[in-house]
Structure formats: structure tokens, C-alpha cells
Amino acid sequence: MNIVTDIRAWQSIRENCATKKIGFIPTMGYLHAGHASLCERARRENDITVVSIFVNPPQFNQSKDFNLYPRAIEEDIALLTSHRVDYLFLPDEQTMYHDHYEVQVTENALSKELEGAYRPGHFNGVLTIVLKLLNIIQPLHAYFGEKDYQQFMLIKKMVSALFLPLHIIGCETIRAEDGLALSSRNVRLNAMQREKAAHFPKLLHSDLSPAKITEQLQSLGFKVDYIVEQWGRRLGAVWLDEIRLIDNMLLRTIR
């Protein structure tokens, strides 16, 4: 695997593979089996697979959360190498935000709901960095997990609105044996929290109403931001102490 940190170096590489299909997976690192599944699909559907790792400051609502976000670059490199990824794009903050975040991408409808209501400015940060990365890498296909379903919809909307010449591909959420959606943040859960966290996807997937699910989660010690049904899905966001979990299920799969 080749590691590229400089935009001009990547642009030179990109010119030399202009006829190749490129599949791209943007990440914030601390990679897990969910990321690995995206890499495997990208490899099957493209000539070249590119992964980026960049922990994006503007999408964090609190500096503490940004500082606590787990990082393990050597392990990430090993995982990507084992899955035969061709290129890792590994820029620094100065490279990606030489404008000091003075230019931002804003969506004024979907981004105001759910996650947008609870995390003001979050989606500006997400859309801005994704647009930058798509413009740099210039893939044919870009792959996103569906755990962050609202984010996935917003990225598709941005690509359509701005006429970007690529396809955004959503991939099914990968889960642990107990049903918890894999997430880089899960490493912050201690043993007791990890055991309790498994109730979240189990209740989200039950035949209970959103109100009853909220009630049961609260009785278990969760703080509930929302449990709602829209976009053909049941979506939820909860807190276990200082750790926030999000998830969603297709409504037709609800028991």
C-alpha cells in the first residue's frame, strides 16, 4: 500500500490512472470490521481502492470529544494493507484547512433535523470535508456505511445538487455479535457500559413503539436524544454517561 500525504502527489498519481475506476472510502481512522467490509466491496467493484484517514475537527461539537477520539494509525495501516488497499491518503489539518474553515458547505433542510438539531454545525463539518476529499481523490464510487444514515442521505444530496461525477454507495451496517453497530467510539465503553449498550439495538429492532422504546431505555439508565421513525427507518440516538451512540433499522425488518 502506498501512503500519500500531499495533495499534489496524489494529483500526479491520479493523472497516471485516469482510465481506472477508483473506489474511495473516507474515514476518521481507528478502523474496524465495518471499514474492512467497505474496503472489500470497493476492491471488488473498482480497479483502485483509496482510503483516507483524517480526524475532522469541525464536525466535533466539543473539543473534548475531538481529543478523546481514538487514534491508532499503525494498526490502521496494518488493516488496510491486509485488505490490499492500494492507497492511503493521510493529510494533516493544515493541508485540509489552509483557509481556516472560512469556506463551508451548508445544507438548510435535512441537516436541521435529528442529528443536526442535537449537534449544531456538525453536518457543515461533514459535508465540507467530504466535498474536499471527493474533489481531491476524484473517485467513480465512494462508499459509506449506513449507520450514520442521515449523514449518508446528506452526502448523496450534496453530490446530486453539485453535479459531482461519481456514485455514492451505501453499505449495510456491520454489527458485533450482540447487535451493537460497530463504531470507532465503542472502544470508549467500559465492560459494564458495553454490556448495557447491547440493549440499544435490541430495543430499536423490537416491535415496541418509539415511545415505549424510549421509556425502556431511560429505565435502563440511557439518556435518549430521540427514537423516531422516518425515511423508512427507525432511528435513535442515546447517551451512556458521556458516550453517544446512534443507530437505525429498516422499518420492514422490525420484529
DSSP letters along 112-173, please?
GSTHHHHSTTHHHHHHHHHHHHHHHH--SEEEEESSSHHHHHHHHHHHHHTT-SSEEEEEPP
Is it the case that residue 255 has pLDDT exceeding 70? no
Question: Distance between CA atoms of 150 and 228, rounded to whole angstroms?
Answer: 12
Confidence of residue 62 (pLDDT cuts 50, 70, 90): confident
The pLDDT > 90 percentage for the chain reads 95
User: Is residue 100 annotated as part of the catalytic site, yes or no?
Assistant: no
pLDDT at 61: 86
**Are residues 51 and 88 in contact, defined by beta-carbon separation less than 8 angstroms?**
yes
pTM above 0.75, yes or no: yes
SS3 26: strand
- Sketch out the chain's domains with CATH numbers: 2-171 (3.40.50.620), 184-248 (3.30.1300.10)
Tell me the CA distances in angstroms from 119 to 36, 111, 114, 220, 234, one per residue in order.
28, 10, 9, 24, 19
User: What pLDDT, in 10s, does the model give residues 131-180?
Assistant: 999 999 999 999 999 999 999 999 999 999 999 999 999 999 999 999 99
Q: What pLDDT does 239 receive?
A: 97
